[in-house]
Amino acid sequence: MSPCLIEFKSIGSSELGYITAVQHPDDLPFIIKRVYWTYFTPHNVERGNHAHQHLHQVIIAVSGIIKFSVEGCNGSKTEFVLDNPNTGLYLPPMHWRTIHFSHNAVLLCLASAEYSEEDYIRTYQEFTKLQK
Ligand code: TYD
**Residue from 99, 95, 97, 98 nearest 131 by CA:** 95
Give the count of domains, the chain. 1
Q: Establish if 18 belongs to a structural domain.
A: no
- pLDDT tens for residues 62-87? 999 999 999 999 999 999 999 999 99
Task: Let me know if 43 is a catalytic residue.
Answer: no
Check pLDDT > 70 for residue 132.
no
Residue 120 maps to a domain: yes
Active-site residue, selected from the candidate residues 24, 43, 50, 103:
50
Mean pLDDT of 37-47: 96
* 20 domain-assigned: no
Cβ atoms of 60 and 7 closer than 8 Å: no
CA of 121 to the centre of ligand 1 (A): 12
pLDDT digits (tens, 9 = 90+) for 74-121: 999 999 999 999 999 999 999 999 999 999 999 999 999 999 999 999
Domain boundaries, position 64:
4-8+26-131
Q: Is the residue at 42 inside a domain?
A: yes
Over the chain, what is the mean pLDDT? 97
CATH number of the CATH domain containing 121: 2.60.120.10
Q: Could you tell me if residue 75 is left (phi over 0), alpha (psi between -120 and 50 degrees) or otherwise beta?
A: left
pTM: 0.96
